[in-house]
Amino acid sequence: MSTPQPAPARGDGQHVLVVADDPSTVELLTTTLVLAGYQVQSAANGADGLKRVTEHPYDLVVFDATMPDLDELQRGRRLPPADRPPVLFLTAYESLHTLVPELGLGEEDYVTKPFGISEALARVHVLLRGRHTPRQGDTPHYRDLLLDHATCEARRGARPLDLTPAEYRLVCLLLAHAERVLSKGQISRHVWGDVRADNAIEKLVSRLRRKVDVEEPALIHTRRGFGYWLGCSSR
């Protein structure tokens, strides 16, 4: 009598980005991951995938390393160092040596093409172990400043904040490191993926402060000569 196979592990609503230029691969992975309990979006090339990752806090990226624009991606922007998602590479066996660390990604794993969907799901489960989508009750917040990663929206108390993508990424960073001073370099790399001039960072912080600090107490502060921080009183 054959031994019954264990049911594949299910997701817990984590956000997954599939980056591949083959429509059949995208459809197979998207359908399978959605049925397995994940929230899935897709990008058709590496440049679009990198842009999406810098604008949205994905829990995992499934990345087809055989795409033709991989070399261009390596020469372009690197991902910001903060909150880098783990990556599952899809690669041809003979191309394993081309998976380079210059992409600057976090935890990594791979499956070789053609891949078995059960193997891909198992690797996804391992990479996502311990990660989950915030639910009601554990929404990221500091006092009355709250974020909703599912909709990429923020509010101060009952007042919604109309934030640009850059402003949202900045408030995510400040909230994740509440009551800690962050340098302009740290902010620049997280928000834009590269180093920007001081005045660009100062203008961004100023715009965010005008939207967040309408009510008292003010939450966004400057530590002159060091950077900015989120908290309840200036230092």
- Residue 5 falls within a domain, yes or no? no
Same domain, 39 and 119: yes
**183 near 69, Cβ under 8 Å?**
no
Structure confidence at residue 57 (pLDDT)? 75
Same domain, 123 and 170: no
**How does pLDDT run across 17-29, given as a tens digit for each residue?**
899 988 888 888 8
Same domain, 225 and 157: yes
Q: What is the pTM of this model?
A: 0.51
- Residue 4 falls within a domain, yes or no? no
Structure confidence at residue 202 (pLDDT)? 93
- Residue 34 falls within a domain, yes or no? yes
**How does pLDDT run across 190-212, given as a tens digit for each residue?**
788 777 888 899 999 999 999 99
**222 near 184, Cβ under 8 Å?**
no
Of the candidates 128, 151, 171, which is a domain's last residue?
128
Residue type, 34: V
Same domain, 124 and 160: no
65-96 residues labelled b (16+ CB within 10 A) or e (exposed): bbbeebeebeeeebbbebebbbbbbbbeeeee
Dihedral of the alpha carbons of 82, 85, 86, 89, in degrees to the nearest 10 = -120
Same domain, 148 and 124: no
What CATH number should be reported for the domain holding residue 160? 1.10.10.10
What CATH number should be reported for the domain holding residue 24? 3.40.50.2300
